[in-house]
Amino acid sequence: MAKKKKRKSKVDKPSDFLILDCGDYFLLRNTRMKFKAKSGHTHLDNYETCEAIINWVCNHKVPYNDYLRESARRVSRDEKYLEMIDIKNDKVRNKQKYYNQNCGVVI
């Protein structure tokens, strides 16, 4: 069997990111992007989460959580990766909700 190739980002590298300790939170910033309101940076609670976001962005892995997906979207410059996040958001948004109907159980 052929080995799967890891998708590495050719646009974003770990050295492009900067983690700043701001007291109550950490600021993750992509130094290659302009510092704007909704792009180029994100606010996170843990240092480990910042490192995980950097790892996910550089290795093209989509985060499992809505907030983390939005954070990854804000700091990434790679169009293919942003498209992968859009696909995941659409899947989550269109997912059918499970509803267990009460079938007449009387208490």
Cβ count within 10 A of residue 103: 5
**pTM of the full structure:** 0.78
Q: Could you give the 3-state DSSP secondary structure of residue 67?
A: helix
Q: What is the per-residue pLDDT for 14?
A: 85
pLDDT for 12: 80
Q: 77, 13 in Cβ contact below 8 A?
A: no
Of 80, 69, 24, which Cα lies nearest the Cα of 47? 24
Q: Give how far the C-alpha of residue 54 lies from the chain's centroid of Cα atoms, to the nearest Å.
A: 9
Confidence class for position 46, pLDDT limits 50, 70, 90: very high
Instruction: Give the model's pLDDT for residue 96.
Output: 83
